[in-house]
A and B are shown apart, each in its own frame.
Chain A
Amino acid sequence: MTEIRVHKEEAVYVYEAPVRIWHWVQVFAIFALGVTGYLIGSPPPSLGGEASDWFLFGWIRYIHFVSAWIVIVGFVFRLYWAFVGNPHAREIFLPPVWRASFWGGVWHEILWYAMVAKEPRKYTGHNPLAVITMHVMYVWGIVFMIVTGLALYGEGTGMGSWQYEWFSSWVIPLFGQSQDVHTWHHLGMWVIVCFVIVHIYVAVREDIMSRQSIISSMISGWRLFKDDRPVDRD
């Protein structure tokens, strides 16, 4: 067995309560959106009887819309928190892409995942590869889903509604026609699904193999370190 070296358990408060609550609310809302969104594209088997007996598809769409509003309000709030929260709250919104050291960090993480680098670097916040992945796939992914989603929602609320005037009126011609917006929105869901798979996998892997806690940090807010050597970057 590997000897467990004695070390100080230093802990840093990284994820403030609003960020944590936002994260877990997102988890449930996005899960609901994915399931109901898939069913909107591929409806469950037909029900029999009279139309007045059921409101199944209506409920599926209703859950989709309610969850979407939760994500939208949550995203706006999260954007606000990026300004007023601690520096870690800004990480995924503003990756320092102009800094060479950032890209050096990304490259080192790639080597770590390619199992070339023997040891990962130690980070208080997200590692650079995580930052860039969350920024591109999650932040822009969710912005894309919100914009196309509101454009499709505006089709239902109709001309004259703010959803239609602010979103549908320019998004639909931009993509060609309504059907194309549906298709891109649908593909966007699969991008989010791919992100979720990677996100969960690396969170578990990092929790086990990296030098700091990952999963429990998003629950308690505290980052714990497995060694007391200095951090490479906050």
Chain B
Amino acid sequence: MAQRIETFYEVMRRQGITRRSFLKYCSLAAGALGLSPAFAPKIAEAMENKPRIPVLWLHGLECTCCSESFIRSAHPLAKDVILSMISLDFDNVIMASAGEQALAIIEETIEKYDGNFLLAVEGNAPLGEEGMYCISGGKPFVDELTRVSQHARAIISWGSCASWGCVQAARPNPTRATPTHKLPGIADKPIIKVPGCPPIAEVMTSVITYMVTFDRLPELDNQGRPKMFYSQRIHDKCYRRGHFDAGQFVESFDDEGARKGYCLYKVGCKGPTTYNACSTIKWNGGLSFPIEAGHPCIGCSEDGFWDKGGFYDRLTGIKGFGIDANADQIGATAAGIVAGAAAIHAGVSVVKRIASKGDDA
């Protein structure tokens, strides 16, 4: 028998949060999710009545930057999400207990809430050497992940590691690090990708807020990312976009253009090819984001961003030509060969023609 879980509202009140503050928080959550103010009472109603969703947060091959980002969420505060909205039952890196005591919680959650808890995955599982490159609790992480996934309601792939593979899956990927959705044996459950290295804190907490409030998954795009945060490119909302359209670019990091805050396109900014919310939500409580700090976007929320050549190159590096080359180097070489061949062919044609005319005479 599942014991009754407290609602968000009960937990908040128990923590001494007034009803007035609670309602303010609901309005803020509605705003963060891009909903109209009319949704604030719905959020409040959901929080007053719905039990908190248990979440198991597993860590594979990762650097914990997702967790670091998550605990810095300002709107809503991560502590609100962890303490009031979800029941974060297991998370290796921030839980107090350790060892067998901690691992027992996974079993307990599976038993109590089979099919009703959320599985959050940070990092990915390597398949090489039967998963031996990542051992968690004495067993290959891939086994633990696929087993727990069978009992979850939905899976959240935190960060680029779980979503795409990220640095450990970069060429030549010696450990065969594999993103969640490509793992053989992963349960056929909805997978929500929240890519980024790390993802924006507010994006992470808002995805969870949405799921607990509306009791459904956020709308996803073709690649499994929540549309509310990943439907536009950094470029589409970039405050330097005016300089892009004008044709004003930073040519090198110490030039006049860099000082004037021109567009970073020519120094390799991946904003035009990166779907994320950095240019609107920004980072560290809305303080800034890479382009605002004068650095090009490296496209960290895109698939395989490590394998596209230099972060400071405009054109993508293409493998398979001995050394890295870009489309222009390959294309110009091909065009040069074709033009050269045509010229030689023309020369030979003329010579043959003259020679054959000589025969006629």
Q: Least Cβ distance of B111 to chain A in Å? A: 38
Interface string of B302-321 (1 = CB under 8 A from A): 11110010000011101000
**Contact between chains at B331 and A187 (CB < 8 Å):** yes
- Chain A: interface secondary structure? helix
- Which one, A42-50, A82-90, A142-150, is touching chain B? A42-50
**Contact between chains at A193 and B327 (CB < 8 Å):** no
Q: Report which of A1, A58, A113, A190 forms a contact with B345, defined as CB distance below 8 A.
A: A113
- Chain B: interface secondary structure? helix
Interface string of B215-235 (1 = CB under 8 A from A): 000000111000100011100
Q: Report which of A173, A179, A194 forms a contact with B338, defined as CB distance below 8 A.
A: A194
Query: Which residues of chain B are near A41, meaning CB under 8 Å?
Result: 314-315, 327-328
Within 8 A of B (CB), among A7-58: 38, 41-49, 51-58
Interface string of B25-49 (1 = CB under 8 A from A): 0000000000000000000000000
Query: Which residues of chain A are near B222, meaning CB under 8 Å?
Result: 169-170, 172-173
Q: Report which of B270, B272, B305, B346 forms a contact with A205, defined as CB distance below 8 A.
A: B346
A176 contacts the other chain (CB 8 A): yes
Cα–Cα distance between A178 and B303 once the two chains are bound (Å)? 9
Query: Which residues of chain B are near A47, meaning CB under 8 Å?
Result: 246-248
Q: How large is the interface on B (under 10, 10 to 19, 20 to 34, 35 or more residues)?
A: 35 or more
- Which one, B1-9, B117-125, B171-179, B236-244, is touching chain A? B236-244
User: How many residue-residue contacts, CB under 8 A, span A and B?
Assistant: 142
B256 contacts the other chain (CB 8 A): yes
Interface string of B257-287 (1 = CB under 8 A from A): 1000010011000101111000000000000
Within 8 A of B (CB), among A177-234: 177-180, 182-183, 186-187, 189-191, 193-194, 197-198, 201, 205, 209
**Contact between chains at A194 and B348 (CB < 8 Å):** no
**Contact between chains at A193 and B331 (CB < 8 Å):** yes
**Contact between chains at B243 and A179 (CB < 8 Å):** no
**Contact between chains at B249 and A43 (CB < 8 Å):** yes
Interface string of B134-148 (1 = CB under 8 A from A): 000000000000000
Kindly name the residue among B248, B318, B349 whose own CB sees the greatest number of chain A CB atoms within 10 A.
Answer: B248
Cα–Cα distance between A67 and B339 once the two chains are bound (Å)? 25
With contact pairs A187-B330, A201-B345 given, residues A179 and B236 touching in the complex (Cβ less than 8 Å): no
**Contact between chains at A205 and B349 (CB < 8 Å):** yes
Identify the A interface with B (CB < 8 A): 1-2, 38, 41-49, 51-58, 60-61, 113, 115, 155-156, 158-159, 169-170, 172-173, 176-180, 182-183, 186-187, 189-191, 193-194, 197-198, 201, 205, 209
Identify the B interface with A (CB < 8 A): 221-223, 227, 231-233, 236, 242-251, 256-257, 262, 265-266, 270, 272-275, 299, 302-305, 308, 314-316, 318, 326-328, 330-332, 334-335, 338-339, 342, 345-346, 348-349, 352-353, 357, 360-361
13 CB-based A-B contacts, threshold 8 Å: A43-B266, A54-B248, A55-B247, A179-B273, A179-B305, A179-B308, A180-B308, A180-B316, A183-B315, A186-B315, A190-B331, A190-B332, A197-B338
